[in-house]
Amino acid sequence: MLLEMAATSLKNSSVMRVIGVTKEYPGVLANDSVSLDLERGTIQALLGENGAGKSTLVKIIYGLVKPDSGQMLLNDRDFHPKGPQDARSKGVGMVFQHFSLFDALNVFENIALGMDEAFQKTHLRSRINSVSEEYGLSISLDKIVGNLSAGERQRIEIVRCLLQNPEIMIMDEPTSVLTPGEVSDLFVVLRKLASQGMSILYISHKLEEIRSLCSKATIMRHGTVVDTCDPRKLSAGKIAESMVGNSFSNPKKSKIKAGKVLLELNNVSLKSKRTFGVPIKDISLRLHAGEIIGVGGVAGNGQDEFLGLMSGELSPTKGTLFLDGQDVTYLGPVERRKKGLLSAPEERLGHAAAPEMTLTENTLITAEHRMDLSKNGVINYSKARSLSEKIINSLDVRTSGAGSLAKSLSGGNLQKFVIGRELIQNPKIFVVNQPTWGVDAAAAASIRQRILDLAKDGAAIVVISQDLDELLQISDVFCALVGGQLSKPTDTKKLNPKTLGLLLTSSDAGKAV
């Protein structure tokens, strides 16, 4: 393998150099004369706030985007990939934040579909098993992917990448849906790969992970590189300040006395209609005014179904749901929104926002009734646009304007817009899945503070998240969601990340607390 190099003498030489790369889109200078050195055998972080230009840069390196100007060198030779396949053939691989796997196929079939060269089935199976064993990435080749956890899916992506024998592996937010144990396992693999000579370009907004894993960090802001540092020698706060260009405050939680019950689920069950969906089993929950309930769970344990039950997108097969004392069990999303129950799902592009619609049009989708954006069937487009601009300004959404298509925004900026769109409507009850997924530290702090302020004003909130630090920081009560079952609520003050991690992997969630 290319990893098996005469590593010691080459350890600190540059395997890739990016020199003065520029890429401009209509109204946005995504990369402005960006330069970067990636050293052999190192794990190097690429950091920056949402819209800083990180995604554009790695897409250029991986051949997905053509730069307007600049140069790239791979092992001191010109590197200008015609596309991802060309990049892979020259030693550059990438593991994306969103898994590109087919749920209905098994592990072997998914890996085979990602191979660029012809292969014999038995030989490929042998290679997969060999790579899996060497790096501790155990996977069962005959398991259907739709039944696997997020951690197991990520192993597939990494193995598929390693089979291409890369010198460089780009990883985009690799720990966003992993448990603490899975994160630790991943870090063991990455450190072993680096020790064998592989260079890893690592994108993450989790700065404590960066400090633990990476020996070098390149920091971008507004499309340019503003600093290169050793993150191990800086605090997470200092790194974050370098990313955003100024200091910011961590969320401050006020002491709030819980009020009346605003949302009540009584023995609610659901048979999921999705092929690989998770059934909800006999959930009961009471949510009070001014209270934030944190719901944690490993990805794929029924989070989407749980949110769908509360938003009205899904109807229970058993049980009842009351909103401020009124039975809304079979009311749909529009009627529940009119009554003050608003929600923001995890999948921002396609579920929370329509990709081909503008931000103004996406605002109309959920805010039409609560914000009086239409009258007698006639849409007040000017008012909708003004509301969209207010959302953009209040959460510092990096975009050319309210007329931008949702798909044109970076993931983090679209997330800020989606959350801002719901919060600006002053919900009585707010249910959100992964509120700060993919956003930078400053934006995450801002979103969490707004959620806390909403609770302070008397709203009842359910935060579904795989970020345990987030749940400990903002929630009053914690429940674990495991296999579609919800544990008994417990005071968040009695928990820590370790006990939370154990709770989330318990096979007996209902009796765990």
Do 7-244 and 249-340+427-513 share a fold? Answer: yes
CB half-sphere exposure, 227, CA atoms < 13 A: 17
Q: Which ranges of the chain have pLDDT less than 70?
A: 1-12, 505-513
Residues paired with 374 in a beta bridge: 379
Name the residue ranges covered by the structural domains of the chain.
Answer: 7-244, 249-340+427-513, 351-426
Rounded CA gap, 422 and 434, in Å? 14
Secondary structure in 3-state letters for 33-85? EEEEEEECCCEEEEEECCCCCHHHHHHHHCCCCCCCEEEEEECCEECCCCCHH
Distances (CA, A) of 25 to 126, 223, 412, 437: 45, 12, 18, 25
Phi, psi of 108 (to 5 degrees): -60, -45
Q: Is 397 exposed, middle or buried (0-12, 13-18, 19+ CB in 10 A)?
A: buried
Tokens matching residue 496: 């820590």
Q: Are 186 and 175 in contact (CB under 8 A)?
A: yes
- Locate all alpha helices (DSSP H) within 283-380, ordered by sequence: 303-311, 333-338, 359-367
Contact present, 198 and 169 (Cβ < 8 Å): yes
Nearest to 226 by CA among 200, 208, 246, 210: 246
In the block, tokens 């990709």 appear at 355
Query: Three-state SS for 163?
Result: coil
Q: Residue 12: what pLDDT?
A: 55
CATH topology of domain 249-340+427-513: Rossmann fold (3.40.50)
Contact 299, 312 (CB under 8 A): no
- Give the fold, CATH level 3, of 7-244: Rossmann fold (3.40.50)
Q: Show the CA angle centred on residue 236, arms to residues 190 and 23, nearest 5°.
A: 70
